[in-house]
Amino acid sequence: MKTAIKNGKIVTYNNGISVQENQSLIIENNIIADIVENSQVEKKYPDAKIVDATNKAIFSGFANCHTHFRLTLARGIFENESPSNTPPFPGYPRRPLPEISKEEHQIMILLGAIESIKAGTTVAMEVAEGIMDYADELQKSGLRLVLAEQISDRISGSYGEPGEIKSDPQQNENGLEQMSNLYSKWHNYDNSRITVGIAAWAPDMNSPNSLQTIRALQDKLNVLSTIHLNQLWGEVQNIKDNYGTTPTKYLEQNNFLNDKLVAAHCRCMSTEEEKILGEYKSTVSFNAAIAARRGLSPNIKDLEEFGCKIAMGSDNMDENMIVVMRTGMFMERVRMTDGRNPSPNEAYKWATHNGYKSLGIPDAGTLNKGSKADLIIVNLLQPHLTPQTDIVSNWVHMGQNHDVESVMVDGKWIMKEHKILNLDEEYIITKANEIAARVWK
Ligand SMILES: [Zn+2]
């Protein structure tokens, strides 16, 4: 079955962003099989199902390179319980996440998935412990996913909390085993729509042994790795106190840095560390919205100049990548006191093409012939998107999640005209409210 998306404005990335008018996308199986003139569609592809995109734009979907879907449970609370950015660092100040059942956990995860899709995300890297418990439910959303099983072996104190770091090698072994099981069951599932990655939690949550064994397993399985890096000033203090170095150097000493590493945050970082990360060509997941909520900002321009790839992620309590993309552009302009840079095109590229590349999917995140069919249809007939002089600039500066009408992943619609197709949105929202009302009272 072929689908022809006709009469829309197609936004592609190919050594620069361009907007193609008078063209139609021909989708066959999971690929953009062809791009033809609107007038040629019926002649060339008489059996294609036509989707009329008049007054609509077709963008690449967002690549969310760092999220924890379960933390939707903490929405309205953790956004405002930020750790201290100046000494003393008393550890993570927020309340613990309440215990909920496996089934309730799945509801909160699916809430995050629905929110993601409605704001135009097509691929997400989910970072968590025990993903096996909900991988099957989550994959039913139709999203493209990188499932990154998180491992840590610290048993004293919490993330960012000073004190002697004690670790348990058995806890690390258990994590590695969970990772191997997840890989066996889910890596390259459904035409590689689902892949598996490996995550260390953070420099002060993983011992040298843990980092080294995680890296060894990464190499053995040939998968992506990820870690929270230089996220908190408490983490920086901890690594100094326990190992006499900086978080990024600590990772380098333990063979953790590589070009298939997605380092999340990178905001409490020295120039020396930025240069080291750049030398390894690691990706920085610029989690701009949560960074702004925490009152911190990474030095994105410098990281990029030193060789890092810049991609974007939502992190916690907010899965809206439109907001992440816009906040990233705003924050970097404020940080640099430069009202022109980064440009909307740069921010758009970070949030789409760069993200896909960093997640190991180079043939997506753009709408070229032969690319994977991961795309969103955006209704341009909105006051805030009018006039359509520069639709990419409008999308980055003014886009709203309700503008996203339809979402396609791997050639299949997962949202069509605002309706989520694979999950029961109303049921999940109702249940999620019930769960939160009970556990936070
Ligand atoms: Zn995180």
Residue 264 CA, ligand 1 centroid: distance in Å:
7
Residue 164 CA, ligand 1 centroid: distance in Å:
23
Residue 209 CA, ligand 1 centroid: distance in Å:
22
pLDDT at 90: 76
Residue 228 CA, ligand 1 centroid: distance in Å:
6
31 has which bridge partners?
A: 28, 372
The DSSP result for 56-75, as a single string, is: EEEEEPEEEEEE-GGGGGGT
Residue 268 CA, ligand 1 centroid: distance in Å:
15
Whether 61 contacts 367, CB under 8 Å: no
pLDDT at 89: 86
Residue 65 CA, ligand 1 centroid: distance in Å:
10
Residue 430 CA, ligand 1 centroid: distance in Å:
26
Give the CA-trace dihedral at 428, 430, 434, 435, to 10 degrees. Answer: 10
d(CA 377, CA 61): 9
Residue 186 CA, ligand 1 centroid: distance in Å:
22
d(CA 301, CA 306): 9
For residue 209, count CB atoms less than 10 angstroms from its CB and return exposed for 0-12, middle for 13-18, buried for 19 or more: middle
Q: Which amino acid is at 312?
A: M
Whether 93 contacts 81, CB under 8 Å: yes
The residues spanned by each domain of the chain are 2-60+367-420, 62-358
Residues 6+ apart with CB under 8 A from 98: 73, 439, 440
DSSP 8-state assignment for residue 42: H
Whether 233 contacts 268, CB under 8 Å: yes
Cα torsion angle, 234, 236, 237, 243, sign:
positive
376 has which bridge partners?
A: 59, 407
Closest CA to 205 of 250, 160, 241: 160
Residue 424 CA, ligand 1 centroid: distance in Å:
27
Residue 347 CA, ligand 1 centroid: distance in Å:
20
Cα torsion angle, 348, 352, 354, 355, sign:
positive
Residue 79 CA, ligand 1 centroid: distance in Å:
13
Residue 202 CA, ligand 1 centroid: distance in Å:
9
56 has which bridge partners?
A: 379
Q: Hunting for tokens 């099981």 — which residue is that?
A: 181
Residue 321 CA, ligand 1 centroid: distance in Å:
15
* pLDDT tens readout for residues 338-370: 999 999 999 999 999 999 999 999 999 999 999
Helix, strand counts (H, E) of the chain: 16, 19
Residue 187 CA, ligand 1 centroid: distance in Å:
22
Whether 259 contacts 225, CB under 8 Å: no
pLDDT at 47: 96
Q: Which amino acid is at 321?
A: M
Residue 237 CA, ligand 1 centroid: distance in Å:
19
**Which 3 state secondary structure label does DSSP give 372?**
strand
What does DSSP say about strands 23-28 and 419-420: parallel, antiparallel, or unpaired?
unpaired
Residue 313 CA, ligand 1 centroid: distance in Å:
9
Residue 316 CA, ligand 1 centroid: distance in Å:
7
* pLDDT tens readout for residues 269-298: 999 999 999 999 999 999 999 999 999 999
**Which 3 state secondary structure label does DSSP give 2?**
strand
CA angle at 353 for the pair 228 and 7, rounded to the nearest 5°: 145
Residue 315 CA, ligand 1 centroid: distance in Å:
5
CATH of domain 2-60+367-420: 2.30.40.10
Residue 64 CA, ligand 1 centroid: distance in Å:
12
Q: Name which CATH class applies to 62-358.
A: alpha beta
For residue 371, count CB atoms less than 10 angstroms from its CB and return exposed for 0-12, middle for 13-18, buried for 19 or more: buried
Residue 68 CA, ligand 1 centroid: distance in Å:
6
For residue 14, count CB atoms less than 10 angstroms from its CB and return exposed for 0-12, middle for 13-18, buried for 19 or more: exposed
**Count of residues making up the chain:** 441
DSSP 8-state assignment for residue 80: G
Residue 286 CA, ligand 1 centroid: distance in Å:
11
| Regions of the chain with pLDDT less than 70 | 92
